[in-house]
Amino acid sequence: MSSVLLSVSNLSKSYGGRLAVDGVSFQVMAGQVVGLLGPNGAGKSTTVGMIAGLLRSDGGSVTLNGEPITPGNSAAKRKLGLVPQDLALYDDLSALENLKLFGALYGLAGAQLKQRCAEVLQQVRLSDRADDKPATFSGGMKRRLNIAAALLHRPALLILDEPTVGVDPQSRNAIFDTLEALKAQGMALIYTSHYMEEVERLADHIVIIDHGKVLADESPAGLYRRLPSQAALRAELAQAPAAALLQELARQPGVTSVRADGAALDIGLQETAGAPAVLAWLAAQAGAPLHFATNRASLEDIFLTLTGRTLRD
Ligand SMILES: Nc1ncnc2c1ncn2[C@@H]1O[C@H](COP(=O)(O)OP(=O)(O)OP(=O)(O)O)[C@@H](O)[C@H]1O
């Protein structure tokens, strides 16, 4: 049984009378990766700012290992690491000098500081660029240096706010490799994103947030179970099918919906594995389809089901 590491309870925050975070609650278990997913402006940054003790909440509480995190409690704040959206690096200092500065802020010094700097540079794969200035880095490399800085003091929980925004694909992969390695070492992560593919790749648990409210708080598998259709089959027949055939198709095992646009059919399926049987039935009834394609449902479909909007609206 894993234990509760972070507990977020009924957090709220307004900016000038406008509610940005509205009663957000969720938990992070030790070693768990939680994806905080929501469109731009949903309240993700405000939520993680309060979790990290940077922003004062209007109400609610955050505890890490049972200890309250507030802007005033710096001992508790030191148990977590935050990689903010806005990069905080000194362009005039080398990567290593930047890390030494951050390390000193966390109270590290001497041989221990030197060792930790070398270790975190290796973790983010920047060891060979230690002596170069961040001004010469790509956006992704700067982000990796930021992750390194947040790891120096060995936090129990690492919070990353949209770590791949403005990052080239190569660095994006390097960031993911780093995060996967941290996860394998048992570090708990909170990861905010509006890219569902990213959240899906890494998260054990997904919290969907919109307009400052939690809409779902579940494992990816649990989220998918909320969808009536796990997959869609699109098939184009040689000619438009008769209404009777469509009705019979809708009654086939595993078929959840049928929509026809002339000879093109959109068939909802309980699961992707149901596609061959449906295709075989169609071929026997109406001749082999000219084209067909299957699509697995995505977190985007889940968000659409929950809100009636797409994530990028
Ligand atoms: N400092 C601020 N002053 C006023 N309003 C703010 C401030 N910060 C955020 N907001 C507003 O609060 C709401 C939530 O913003 P927040 O940045 O937390 O969302 P987000 O989900 O992180 O979005 P993004 O991905 O764009 O950062 C938005 O309506 C935003 O405009």
Q: What's the ipTM? A: 0.94
Tell me: do 254 and 214 sit in the same domain: no
* Ligand 1 neighbourhood includes 193 CB (under 6 angstroms): no
Q: Are 216 and 286 within one domain?
A: no
Q: Which residue, 106, 192, 110, is CA-closest to 148? A: 106
Same domain for 128 and 202, yes or no, is: yes
Nearest protein CA to atom 25 of ligand 1, as residue? 40
Q: Are residues 198 and 286 in the same domain?
A: no
What are the two backbone dihedrals, phi and then psi, of residue 41, each rounded to the nearest 5 degrees?
85, 5
Give the sheet arrangement for strand 264-269, strand by strand: 255-261, 264-269, 231-236, 291-296
Residues 233 and 154 in one domain: no
Residue 1 is predicted with a pLDDT of 57
Q: Assign residue 51 the CATH number of its domain.
A: 3.40.50.300
Distance 312 CA to ligand 1 centre (A): 16
Contacts of 90 (CB under 8 A, 6+ apart): 97, 98, 101, 134
Closest by CA to 229, choosing from 274, 289, 265, is 274
pTM for the whole structure = 0.84
Give the closest residue (by CA) to ligand 1 atom 28.
Answer: 41
Non-local (6+) Cβ contacts of 276 within 8 A are none
Q: Tell me the residue type at 66.
A: G
Same domain for 157 and 255?
no
Residues 202-227: tens digit of each pLDDT: 899 999 999 999 999 999 888 888 88
Mean pLDDT of 270-293: 92
List pLDDT tens digits, range 124-145. 999 999 999 999 998 889 999 9
Per the structure, the count of domains in the chain is: 2
CATH number at residue 286: 3.30.70
171 with 263, same domain? Answer: no
